[in-house]
Copies of this chain bind each other. A is one copy, B any other.
Amino acid sequence: MVYVIAVYDVQADRTRLFRNYLRRFLIHVQNSVFEGEVTEGELERMRDHIESLLEPGESTIIYTVSAESYVDRSVFGEDPTEDSKFL
């Protein structure tokens, strides 16, 4: 398993497309940020699909860390994962 943080910057009317797709693998933690643990195969699939979705001017950064235990995560302000819209 690999720990993934994915952040996208896409046109406002296309965010739902990315959100719905990434939600299949990861947890929605902030407006355009997802994280979670996936297999190498899922990561590969995710990368390919994200690449096919992107239009000019849009981008997605995928950070991977070999284990979740290497990553520390602090949330300041309101934790959006506690908001029902992120479930």
Spell out A's residues near B (CB within 8 Å): 5, 7, 9, 29-33, 47, 50-51, 54-66, 70-80
19 A-B pairs with C-beta separation under 8 A: A47-B74, A47-B76, A51-B77, A55-B77, A57-B77, A57-B78, A58-B77, A59-B77, A60-B76, A61-B74, A61-B76, A62-B76, A63-B63, A63-B72, A63-B73, A64-B72, A64-B73, A65-B65, A66-B70
Say which residue of B30, B59, B65, B76 sits within 8 Å of A76 (CB atoms).
Answer: B59
Copies of this chain held together in the complex:
2
CA A57 to CA B54, docked complex, whole Å: 29
**A64:B56 contact, CB within 8 angstroms:** no
Say which residue of B5, B61, B80 sits within 8 Å of A29 (CB atoms).
Answer: B61
Q: State the Cβ distance, A40 to closest chain B Cβ, in Å.
A: 12
**B59:A64 contact, CB within 8 angstroms:** no
